[in-house]
Structure 1
Amino acid sequence: MTDRLEALEDWAAGLLGQLEPASRNKLARSIGQALRRSQQQRIIAQQNPDGSKYAPRKQRNLRGKQGRVKRKVKMFQKLRTARFLKANGDRRSISVGFTARVARIARVHQFGLRDRAENSARQVQYEIREILGFTQADLDLVRDGLLDYLSQ
């Protein structure tokens, strides 16, 4: 995947060098927003960039829990919102990522790190769930967005 990303970067460098800085800013913002929408759709579908499903949650013993117990709630429902998943673009780069405290939660799941679910809980090894990542469709989206912008 990194080879294809580097090839796209090399291909686009000459074209982007000919644009004015204001035009590059506008293009970067629009491509960044399109990438964010693509990532949001993949998170809604609960899929890794390679197309496989996220590892399921571990079962919890909820017998002692009072009140209503929510089941079958999709993971990362709030993380995918524009409040937490930000797209930034300037004349030199485009980035899509998480902000503030949720960035730590996303990093733990992205790389399968150890963390505590609560302050008083024991540490747990989390499964790898690639929340952010490039698919071939994302690379095509960037290429097509650049071509569309230049053809106008």
Structure 2
Amino acid sequence: MTNRLEALEDWAAGLLGQLEPASRNKLARSIGQELRRSQQQRIIAQQNPDGSKYAPRKQRNLRGKQGRVKRKLKMFQKLRTASFLKVQGDGNAIRVGFTGRVARIARVHQYGLQDRPERGAPNVSYDRREILGFTESDFDLIRDLLLKHLTSSNERDT
């Protein structure tokens, strides 16, 4: 994937260098928003960037728990909302990711690390679930948005 990203970056570098800073900022914001939508749709579908399903949740011992237990909730429902999944874009870079405490939770799942589910609990190894990542369609989306922006700005200039 990084080779494909580097190839896209090399191809777009010359074209982006010709744009004015305000136009580059506008393009970066629009690409970032579309990438966020793409990541949100993938999180809704519970899929890794390679198309495989997320590892299922581990079963918990709920014997002592009283009241209704929701077992069929999808993972990361709140993480995918715009209030947690942030987009930052300027003329030089586009960033789609999490900040603060949510970023720590996302990082644990992204890389399959160990963490404590609650204070005082023992460490738990989490399965790897790639919340953020590029798919082949994301590369096509970036290329198409870039070409669309460049052709529309050329039409305005002539």
Q: TM-score, normalised by structure 2?
A: 0.95
Structure-2 separation of matches of 1:131 and 1:2? 17
Structure-1 separation of matches of 2:100 and 2:22? 28
Deviation at 1:120, TM superposition (A): 1.5
Structure 2 residue matching 1:121: 3-state secondary structure: coil
Query: Which residue in the other structure is 1:41 paired with?
Result: 41
Deviation at 1:61, TM superposition (A): 1.2
Deviation at 1:82, TM superposition (A): 0.2
Alignment of 1:44-55 (within 5 A): 44-55=44-55
Are 1:8 and 2:5 matched, yes or no?
no
Deviation at 1:148, TM superposition (A): 0.4
Q: Which residue identity does 2:91 align to in structure 1? A: R
Deviation at 1:40, TM superposition (A): 0.2
Are 1:72 and 2:72 matched, yes or no?
yes
Structure 1 residue matching 2:61: 3-state secondary structure: coil
Q: Which residue identity does 2:23 align to in structure 1? A: S
Query: Which residue in the other structure is 1:24 paired with?
Result: 24
| Deviations 1:91-126 (CA, angstroms, capped at 9, x unpaired) | 000010001110000000000001000011100111
Q: Which residue identity does 2:52 align to in structure 1? A: S
Structure 1 residue matching 2:88: 3-state secondary structure: strand
Matched residues, number? 152
| Deviations 1:45-69 (CA, angstroms, capped at 9, x unpaired) | 0000000000000001112101111
Deviation at 1:71, TM superposition (A): 1.1
Structure 2 residue matching 1:66: 3-state secondary structure: coil
Query: Which residue in the other structure is 2:155 paired with?
Result: none
Structure-2 separation of matches of 1:151 and 1:142? 14
Q: Which residue identity does 2:80 align to in structure 1? A: R
Identity of aligned residues (%): 80
Unaligned runs of 5+ residues in structure 2 are: 153-158
Unaligned runs of 5+ residues in structure 1 are: none
Structure-1 separation of matches of 2:77 and 2:6? 31
Alignment of 1:1-152 (within 5 A): 1-152=1-152
